[in-house]
Amino acid sequence: MVNMMKQVSTVCARDCYDTCALIVSLGESERILSIKGDPRNPITQGFTCPRGARDHERLYKNRVEDPSLRKGDRFERTGWKEALGVVSRKLGETLKKHGSEAVLYLDYAGNMGLLTTVFPRRLWNSIGATQTDWALCSQSGQSALALHYGDSYGTKPVEIPSMHLVVFWGFNAAVSSPHMWALARKARKERGTRIIVIDPRESKTAKGADLWIQPMPGSDVALAYGVINYLVQNDSVDLQFMKEWTRGFEQLKAHAGEWTPDRIEQITGVPWRYIEQLGKAYGSLKPSTTMIGIGLQKCDQGADQVRAVSFIPALLGLHRGFFYSNGNSFLVNGSLLSGRALTEKTSKIIKQVALADLVKGGEFKFVYINCMNPAMTLPNQQAFREGLSRQDVFVVLHETHWTKTARYADVVLPAPTYLEKDDLVIPWGHHYIQYSRRAVHPVTNSRSEVWVMREIAEELGLKDAWLYEDAWSAVESALADALEGGEFQSLRAGKMLTLKTKPKRKYSTPSGKIEFYSSRAAKTGLNPMPIQTPLHVKEGAFILLNSATLNYTSTQFQEVYGAIPAVVMMNPQDAGRLGIKEGDMVTIANERGQVQVSVKISGSLPGRVLWSPRQSQGLAGEPLNRLMSSIPQEIGNGPRFNSTVVTVASLFRGENSGTDRGRYFQVHRPPYPAR
Ligand SMILES: Nc1nc2c(c(=O)[nH]1)N[C@H]1C(S)=C(S)[C@@H](COP(=O)(O)OP(=O)(O)OC[C@H]3O[C@@H](n4cnc5c(=O)[nH]c(N)nc54)[C@H](O)[C@@H]3O)O[C@H]1N2
Ligand SMILES: Nc1nc2c(c(=O)[nH]1)N[C@H]1C(S)=C(S)[C@@H](COP(=O)(O)OP(=O)(O)OC[C@H]3O[C@@H](n4cnc5c(=O)[nH]c(N)nc54)[C@H](O)[C@@H]3O)O[C@H]1N2
Ligand code: SF4
Ligand SMILES: [Mo]
């Protein structure tokens, strides 16, 4: 019998710490039989997550099949020529009438391929369209680390197995980075490595830890200062390293020293003896790595939390003994690829987190969305959706699937998924790189992002030659200094290479050292050292946490795993006090809006803290992100999702309703002192 099975090597394009190398097995007529992790990649280790393994099932579900034009409240299918004619005409008119700043190019990380998100920016850079600062996810943490270390890169995931201590701090790796989690567990099995998790919630990662520390959300600066004080008092600080490699140790010692154990216990809710255990582990188990999660920096004081936590490994004498995001360790010339470096035109860069109010205010007349589902994922949805619905705003969406954002689009253009096109994904966790080969021919009437961008450029009559450069030549130029272990051509031929990384002992701060006392912060009016702001949540109100879940990548994979559950988790004591039972329907609300969800009672949360899956929608289809603030953080302009203050009210009174049942509490946001 002839074996018809064919295998294709590719790379998962999802916005994920792990950027897995994949093997796609195909049967007859290009039917995908399976997607498996490539065992040759030391991070992927031969397995995938539940999303990677079933991505191909989404090939045929809920796809945008043809270019579609809005006709009233429905869409009509059309051809590419007509659709792009409409798009180009509208774009041309907007440029003429309102100027390039009235055009917004809004993209994010639905597919991390260079040809899907970076190269297509050439069109918008050639026009000088407004773009965003991409601060919706990790930027505040990166800016925080840059203040003290110059850059945010650190531990390479391949180093995890050689660690004696791995601390996951605000990082639910068992869910959000299953391969790094597996590496940590492997280290524990093989060499007795200790795993410590610091999370207000008993996450899946916390459940698998040797020690779980449960601070109140937003209290990690105080917690880190507690650890720092312990290290100072127990002679665990590497004084030679302090002298040679750092600035501002004395100031840090004095600043952290103001936090007595009593004060720390009060704000964090963590008994001092646990902080001692954490300090002792850090002082005695070497080498260690502190895995700083993106979840740690999505709150009012998120950047400061990352700053404070990052000091711990430095005090132990470790060069960049943390992991956060390694993207800026690589020598990939992104601004060449995006055309930023090729044009004299300046594009206005706006704060992505604050976008809702700008769109609502009518700042943009033409919005082009690529690789993003902003009508679910941006904060302050009420305002954002009102903005997109304005009569004077024309919205174009390039999408693989029909999303909530499509409801606000005038034109929807079908895009190929990563399985249907060639690309190259630069990881932001590890440093292995492999060509992303197309596994199947496109199953819809889709066109790639590069093709669409070029067609629009031609229709507009744009003349910049670099708009029409061969995209792979441009990628080759952008990678000219980036690769090790082989040339670009061998990469394209399918060889796994690595990306060169900047040396860990290099600190691009003004002094060239680790600056505990950041001179750059002092100069720009920011606090030179991280500050713990007081946490006030008015009696009766709750803090709503929301984080990544196993079966979804942001809003993707609902075609496979069903809708993201419309639930809120609540601690049993709070539920008892409010007379709420498992499965009850409640409204969570604040000054920005309300969302209806059903309650799951869970001991995994402390009192006064709730949790919902992020980017979900309520029982009436309302986005959770109605509740989220669009005021960016001061450092890095990142979001404040995990500082969302809400009240809870039952939607109906049961027979045995408690005294609090059905009553709204007054919302009160704490007055955060100006820094
Ligand atoms: N409340 C709350 N909100 C949050 C967060 C939170 O923690 N809490 N987290 C934030 C974070 S960390 C992030 S990263 C953002 C994510 O925000 P988004 O990037 O908007 O998230 P996704 O839902 O992944 O949307 C990506 C879209 O890209 C599409 N796509 C996939 N592949 C391709 C392709 O090849 N071509 C094209 N054209 N489109 C493609 C997908 O179908 C999907 O609709 O959300 C943020 N929002
Ligand atoms: N399965 C899955 N994996 C993903 C994604 C996904 O959607 N699904 N998305 C990818 C993307 S875009 C991102 S950004 C990452 C996100 O993945 P992570 O970096 O793990 O971040 P989160 O899931 O936002 O939150 C992690 C933990 O931080 C905790 N936390 C919240 N506030 C605080 C605090 O103040 N202090 C402390 N110590 N902990 C706190 C939360 O309870 C949560 O358990 O995952 C990536 N991987
Ligand atoms: S989503 Fe992440 S863990 Fe899952 S297959 Fe893709 S890269 Fe791997
Ligand atoms: Mo993210």
- pLDDT category at 4 given cuts 50, 70, 90 is low
The answer to whether the 68-136+346-499 and 542-652 domains have the same CATH topology is no
Residue 536: predicted pLDDT: 81
The DSSP annotation for 57-83 comes to GGGGSSB--S-EEEETTEEEE--HHHH
| Torsion from C-alpha of 218, 224, 225, 231, nearest 10 degrees | 170
| Torsion from C-alpha of 354, 359, 364, 365, nearest 10 degrees | 160
* Tokens representing residue 506 in the block: 């290099």
Ligand nearest, relative to CA of residue 611 = 2
325 Cα–ligand 4 center, Å: 11
What number does CATH give the domain 6-60?
2.20.25.90
Q: Whose CA is nearest to atom 45 of ligand 2?
A: 176
How many degrees, rounded to 5, is the angle at CA 374 between CA 369 and CA 379? 145
Residue type, 442: P
Average pLDDT over residues 447-468: 98
Ligand nearest, relative to CA of residue 352 = 1
Ligand 3, residue 17: give the atom nearest the CA: 2
Ligand 2, residue 294: give the atom nearest the CA: 19
Is the pTM for the entire model greater than 0.85? yes
Ligand 2, residue 198: give the atom nearest the CA: 38
Ligand 1, residue 554: give the atom nearest the CA: 23
Which residue is it, tokens 């995990």?
A: 642
Ligand 3, residue 16: give the atom nearest the CA: 2
- Identify any residues that bridge with 435 across adjacent strands, giving them in sequence order: 424
The whole-angstrom separation of Cα 575 and Cα 599 is 9
pLDDT digits (tens, 9 = 90+) for 341-381: 999 999 999 999 999 999 999 999 999 999 999 999 999 99
From 121, 378, 399, the mutation candidate for ligand 1 (largest count of ligand atoms within 8 A of CB) is 399
Strands (DSSP E) contained in 148-263 are 165-169, 194-198, 211-213, 246-247
The whole-angstrom separation of Cα 500 and Cα 477 is 15
12 Cα–ligand 3 center, Å: 6
Q: Do the Cβ atoms of 339 and 333 come closer than 8 Å?
A: no
Ligand nearest, relative to CA of residue 23 = 3
Average pLDDT over residues 474-494: 97
Residue 672: predicted pLDDT: 23
The whole-angstrom separation of Cα 595 and Cα 208 is 32
Ligand nearest, relative to CA of residue 174 = 2
What number does CATH give the domain 68-136+346-499?
3.40.50.740
pLDDT digits (tens, 9 = 90+) for 514-543: 999 999 999 999 999 999 998 888 888 999
| Torsion from C-alpha of 467, 471, 477, 480, nearest 10 degrees | 150
Give the domain ranges of the chain: 6-60, 68-136+346-499, 154-324+504-524, 542-652
pLDDT digits (tens, 9 = 90+) for 101-148: 999 999 999 999 999 999 999 999 999 999 999 999 999 999 999 999
Residue ranges around ligand 3 (CB below 6 Å): 12, 14, 16, 18-20, 48-49, 51-52, 178, 553
Residue 675 has pLDDT above 60, yes or no: no
376 Cα–ligand 1 center, Å: 8
Which residue is it, tokens 């216990």?
A: 265
Residue 487 CA, chain-centre distance (Å), reads 31
Q: Whose CA is nearest to atom 39 of ligand 1?
A: 371
Ligand nearest, relative to CA of residue 306 = 2
547 Cα–ligand 2 center, Å: 5
Query: Does domain 154-324+504-524 fall into CATH 3.30.200.20?
Result: no
302 Cα–ligand 2 center, Å: 13
Residue ranges around ligand 1 (CB below 6 Å): 15, 108-111, 116, 136-137, 294, 298, 370-374, 377, 398-401, 403, 415, 417-418, 449, 546-547, 553-556, 614-615, 624-625, 628, 641
Residue 267 has pLDDT above 80, yes or no: yes
Q: Do the Cβ atoms of 176 and 293 come closer than 8 Å?
A: yes
User: How would CATH label the architecture of 542-652?
Assistant: Beta Barrel (2.40)
Q: Whose CA is nearest to atom 5 of ligand 3?
A: 52
Ligand 2, residue 49: give the atom nearest the CA: 1
Residue 535: predicted pLDDT: 84
372 Cα–ligand 1 center, Å: 5
From 48, 176, 220, the mutation candidate for ligand 2 (largest count of ligand atoms within 8 A of CB) is 176
374 Cα–ligand 3 center, Å: 22
pLDDT digits (tens, 9 = 90+) for 655-669: 433 333 222 222 222
pLDDT digits (tens, 9 = 90+) for 594-646: 999 999 999 999 999 999 999 999 999 999 999 999 999 999 999 999 999 99
pLDDT digits (tens, 9 = 90+) for 539-564: 889 999 999 999 999 999 999 999 99
Q: Do the Cβ atoms of 426 and 118 come closer than 8 Å?
A: no
The DSSP annotation for 592-604 comes to TEEEEEEEEE-TT
DSSP structural state of residue 22? E
410 Cα–ligand 2 center, Å: 33
| Torsion from C-alpha of 136, 141, 144, 149, nearest 10 degrees | -130
